[in-house]
Amino acid sequence: MIDLLSNQVKAWDESKLCKLVIGRGTGRAFCAGGDVKAVPEKQPAALEFFRKANFTLATLRKPYVALMDGITMGGGVGLAIGAPFRIATETSQFAMPETKIGYCPDVGATYFLPRLDGELGTYLALTSNVIKARSIVDFGLATHYVPQRRLPALLTALSSLAEPSADAINRTIEEHSAEISPEDPPSSYVGERRRVLDLCFSHNRVESIIEELKNVAGSIESQAQWANETVAAMEARSPTSLRVALEAVRRGKHMELADALQMEMGIATAFCTGASPDFVTGESIIEAAVKGSLPGSGSFALTRAELIASFEQKHGRKVGLRQKIEDTIDRKCKVKDGYLKWTG
């Protein structure tokens, strides 16, 4: 199936008749991964395929929209993350679950995870935790949030575009997006939670991350449960996988996509050929079961309202944009004489 998909994508990209590529799944998932089962026994061909397929999707010349409706995990992430337009719904679930099975995040994860805001990518890479619905947009892994019931109308509208430019596609998706209402539960990864997450996962040693989480559990009551649960999750993961994943994410931050994919191929080869027994054991178990310095005053200083207005003028009133800006201001700025000052 993967070979057919790769060939078809190339054909679409080269076709003069194809103006827009839309990726979607059937049933309850966009793509739930599950591709690791055959990797150890078909290692050379499988690894080379995934490297080429993920690079092809990430470098399409045609506009690409990925409907991340339902489960999008592991290999499924590789099919979606390269799309300039990635749509989450209320049923969306995202994870890179590799450390659960003694493996390391791949499909370009070492490239895109470290480019998420703060240490969100490091957190996802090490914990394998699942994030859902609007949180996928908050993390920057999806670009838009569209209720599932609106997807048929959205698909019709996208398919009807005579000239599907990036601006036209974005406007069309925005027209079908849902506003955040007061009844919607707040994101779990803003405010104090984000501050301690970035603090804990900024370390370059797994032991230091766990130690920092334990310090948070003992000193910040409001975050104690989250910190303890995160420690428990990490201690249940393969120690080898955690260390390799952390190093790969740190290195991937400074790599181009092609180089990160090549690094992942080398890591996968090592896991599959016995550098660590954790991967084969793990998959068998599954088979069985504002940077710079904003001045505090002066002609270049901005108030909170001015900063938000400047972003909305440039990017439009995109759903979730204001909330993202406000959370960043709360975490990264302080107010001096009515103006924002970047504190980092």
% of the chain exceeding 90 in pLDDT: 44
CA distance 245 to 241: 6
Is 160 within a domain? yes
Mean pLDDT in residue range 216-232: 96
State the amino acid at position 171 in one-letter form: R
Is 41 within a domain? yes
Is 299 within a domain? no
Q: Kindly tell me if the per-residue pLDDT of 58 is higher than 90.
A: no
- Residue 177 and residue 312 in one domain: no
The partner residues of 72 in beta bridges, in order of sequence, read 31, 94
The partner residues of 85 in beta bridges, in order of sequence, read 65
Our answer to whether residue 27 is catalytic in this structure is no
Q: What is the pLDDT of residue 278?
A: 53
% of the chain exceeding 70 in pLDDT: 77
Q: What is the pLDDT of residue 182?
A: 62
In tens, the pLDDT along 226-258 reads 999 999 999 988 888 899 999 999 999 999 998
- Residue 160 and residue 11 in one domain: yes
Is 296 within a domain? no
Greater model confidence, 76 or 220? 220
Is 298 within a domain? no
Among 25, 33, 74, 75, the active-site one is: 75
Q: Kindly tell me if the per-residue pLDDT of 37 is higher than 70.
A: no
Return the CATH number at 154: 3.90.226.10
H/E/C letters for each residue in 286-321?
HHHCCCCCCCCCCCCCCCHHHHHHHHHHHHCCCCCH
Classify residue 107 as left (phi > 0), alpha (psi -120 to 50) or beta.
left
Q: What is the pLDDT of residue 212?
A: 98
- Residue 27 and residue 79 in one domain: yes
- Residue 222 and residue 311 in one domain: no
Mean pLDDT in residue range 39-53: 60
- Residue 334 and residue 260 in one domain: no
- Residue 206 and residue 241 in one domain: yes
In tens, the pLDDT along 163-187 reads 999 999 999 999 999 876 666 666 7
In tens, the pLDDT along 120-165 reads 999 999 999 999 988 999 999 999 999 999 999 999 999 999 999 9
Is 293 within a domain? no
- Residue 182 and residue 327 in one domain: no
- Residue 120 and residue 224 in one domain: yes
In tens, the pLDDT along 264-312 reads 888 888 877 665 555 444 444 333 334 333 333 334 467 778 777 777 7
Our answer to whether residue 106 is catalytic in this structure is yes
Question: Residue 27 class from Cβ within 10 Å (0-12 exposed, 13-18 middle, 19+ buried)?
Answer: exposed
**Does the reported pTM lie above 0.85?**
no
Our answer to whether residue 74 is catalytic in this structure is no
Among 35, 69, 106, 264, the active-site one is: 106
Q: What is the DSSP string of 82-121?
A: T-SEEEE-TT-EEE--GGGGT----TTHHHHGGGSSTTHH
Mean pLDDT in residue range 308-317: 70
- Residue 206 and residue 270 in one domain: yes
Coil vs helix vs strand at 155: helix
Mean pLDDT in residue range 221-228: 96
Our answer to whether residue 75 is catalytic in this structure is yes
Among 35, 98, 138, 212, the active-site one is: 98
CA distance 297 to 303: 10
Q: What is the pLDDT of residue 314?
A: 66
Q: Are 35 and 74 in contact (CB under 8 A)?
A: yes
Tally the domains of the chain.
2
Q: What is the pLDDT of residue 60?
A: 86
Is 92 within a domain? yes
Coil vs helix vs strand at 191: helix
- Residue 317 and residue 200 in one domain: no
Among 34, 140, 191, 296, the active-site one is: 34
Q: List the domain range (segments joined by +) for residue 60.
A: 2-288
- Residue 43 and residue 70 in one domain: yes
- Residue 208 and residue 312 in one domain: no
Phi, psi of 56, rounded to the nearest 5 degrees: -60, -45
